[in-house]
Amino acid sequence: MIKSPNLMSLAEQAKLFREGKLTAVNNVKSHLEIINNLNPQLNSFITVDSKGALEQAKNLDKSRNNGDKLGPLSGAILGVKDSIPTKDITTTNNSRLLKNWNPKRDASVISRLKKAGAIIIGKTNLNEFGWSRPSELDLNPPPWSPWNSNHMSVGSSSGSGAATSARMVSASIGTDGGGSARLPAGANNLYGMKPTHGLVSRLGMDHNGHSEISPLSRTALDLALLLESMSGFEIEDDMSWPEAVPNYVKNINKDISGWKIGVPRNFIDSAPNEPEIINAFEIFLNKLEDLGCKLQEIDLRGMAEARAANFIVLNSESYQRHQKSLRLHWKDYGQITRVYLLQGAFIYANDMLNASEVGRAFKNYFSKLLRDKEIKAIVTPTSPFATAERSRRPDEHSKGVNACYTAPFNISGHPSISLPAGFGEAEIPIGMMLTGEIHDDSSLLQIAHAYDKKTEWSKIMPKLVSNNFDN
């Protein structure tokens, strides 16, 4: 007897589908059942496209039965953050302003995922426009954590993280402008990756330069499968990387013993880390050593300045995109979001250019640090905080402290991955982060995969979810 497909990884589901042991229609139905059971409580989805998903699944089953060539994600069920345009599925950005917006075409990343055989089952919840903070005043109320439903799900790809750990989807797609995919991955016992800038094109989305489209999954292998399918050059996107996509999946089993990992103790010790974060960090370091990695303390500079630069760029770009709509449709915006968006009205061109210059300097500095020390990656916690509520305390939130480890690598463009690493007192998962050299996304995936094989995190699911399954 085959266990419920929801309990398998994306790679396992796709393998069973290719072997004819699982139909795409049954996989969709199984995931719809869990969505129907859990979404009313968790608010992970804004839109569930049952009809469209079943239609995609029927076509896939037909293709397989015809002996057609199948893509690497065939039969997998994906949730997509509702800020990424999807043809024929409403894309609200969780805003009243766009509550009826039906994009005329898919963002290029969605076209690539569909071509690889993925089934888009719906659109996942987020802070309005992926900005500001969770609010009951948004079009849809915020998602709750499946690990402890007294706590909010960490955002802004909050619905993507919750839906993936709750087995409502095989994996999900989020966006990460300052940690918005890595932070929810960490808080949901998932692998989440912000790829190198330009690897995954944002064509078809707004021009938000340092916000990368990012996969979240339950295993490192799933992350590699997704990234390989999402990546590729788009000639209409001036930020797109014009090189062939590396074989992330084929090369994932590389021996990582002897690889040097940098540990920036000086910086980590200065952050307001909660005790359970530090405990998990030390255990994570031991695990890296068990895998054969060599730890080396490094003096890491400029993280605060790079975070400030990313904050200025994010604010400027968000305001630029919304300036006209804010004037025309003020009342359609959430009361919190519209205030957040206006921050960019008080940033001058000179400030924006200073931010770009600081970002460029930090990018070159960090790459040189990795090269000079022959380091494959640096390791930090993903967040200093163990719950969404703690990270949103006004004094720390206004300074962006919750993104102190993540945001610097948005402005720099370096690839960065969050790995599951335990649980805090509230039973909310904790993530640890590895950040490596530009366009060496492969090494991060290889470390993550070696770690995944030697740990049990990817087998652990929320109690709320396991109650829905017999096995």
Partner 1 sequence: MEKNFKNKDRSEKLRKMVPISEDEINDLNKLLEGVDNAIELMSTLVQPFDQEIDVSKMSSTVDGENHD
Chain positions 398 to 457 lying near partner 1, rule: CB under 8 A, are: 398-401, 404
Give the H or E element holding residue 297: strand 294-297
Residue 354: CB atoms within 10 Å: 14
Of the candidate residues 305, 332, 389, 427, the single one contacting partner 1 (CB under 8 A): 305
Of the candidate residues 14, 78, 303, 377, the single one contacting partner 1 (CB under 8 A): 303
Of the candidate residues 114, 338, 390, 449, the single one contacting partner 1 (CB under 8 A): 338
Q: Quick check: 354 binds partner 1 (CB under 8 A)?
A: yes
Given the complex with partner 1, which of 69 and 327 has the nearer CB atom? 327
Site string for partner 1, 272-301 (x = CB under 8 A): x--------------------------xxx
CB of 437 to partner 1, least distance (A): 16
Strand partners, 47: 123
Quote the CA–CA distance of 168 and 27 in Å, as a whole number: 11
Contacts for 318-321: CB closer than 8 Å, 24+ residues apart: 318/129, 318/131, 318/208, 318/344, 319/343, 319/344, 319/345, 319/347, 320/344, 321/206, 321/207, 321/208
Given the complex with partner 1, which of 239 and 304 has the nearer CB atom? 304
Mark the segment that binds partner 1 (CB under 8 A) among 19-27, 116-124, 145-153, 265-273.
Answer: 265-273
Whether residue 156 is preceded by a cis peptide bond, meaning omega within 30 degrees of 0, is yes
Answer for the pair 282, 380: CB distance below 8 angstroms, yes or no: no
Of the candidate residues 235, 257, 346, 467, the single one contacting partner 1 (CB under 8 A): 346
DSSP letter, residue 138: S
CB of 410 to partner 1, least distance (A): 14
Q: How many residues bind partner 1 (CB under 8 A)?
A: 45
Q: Quick check: 11 binds partner 1 (CB under 8 A)?
A: no
Answer for the pair 143, 43: CB distance below 8 angstroms, yes or no: yes
Of the candidate residues 22, 98, 152, 309, the single one contacting partner 1 (CB under 8 A): 309
Given the complex with partner 1, which of 238 and 395 has the nearer CB atom? 395
Given the complex with partner 1, which of 237 and 305 has the nearer CB atom? 305
Quote the CA–CA distance of 233 and 231 in Å, as a whole number: 7
Q: Read off the amino acid at residue 10.
A: L
Taking the CA atoms of the chain, what radius of gyration do you get in angstroms? 21
CB of 464 to partner 1, least distance (A): 34
Q: Read off the amino acid at residue 318.
A: S
CB of 385 to partner 1, least distance (A): 12
3-state SS assignment for residue 128? helix
Q: Quick check: 312 binds partner 1 (CB under 8 A)?
A: yes
Q: Quick check: 332 binds partner 1 (CB under 8 A)?
A: no
Residue position matching structure tokens 């979001």: 337
Using DSSP, how many helices (H) and how many strands (E) does the chain show? 17, 11
CB of 77 to partner 1, least distance (A): 38
Quote the CA–CA distance of 300 and 435 in Å, as a whole number: 13
CB of 402 to partner 1, least distance (A): 11
Given the complex with partner 1, which of 50 and 367 has the nearer CB atom? 367
Please give the distance of CA 453 from its chain centroid, rounded to a whole number: 21
Give residues in contact with partner 1 (CB under 8 A).
266-267, 270-272, 299-305, 308-309, 311-312, 315, 326-327, 330-331, 335, 338-340, 342-343, 345-347, 351, 354-355, 357-358, 361-362, 364-365, 394, 398-401, 404
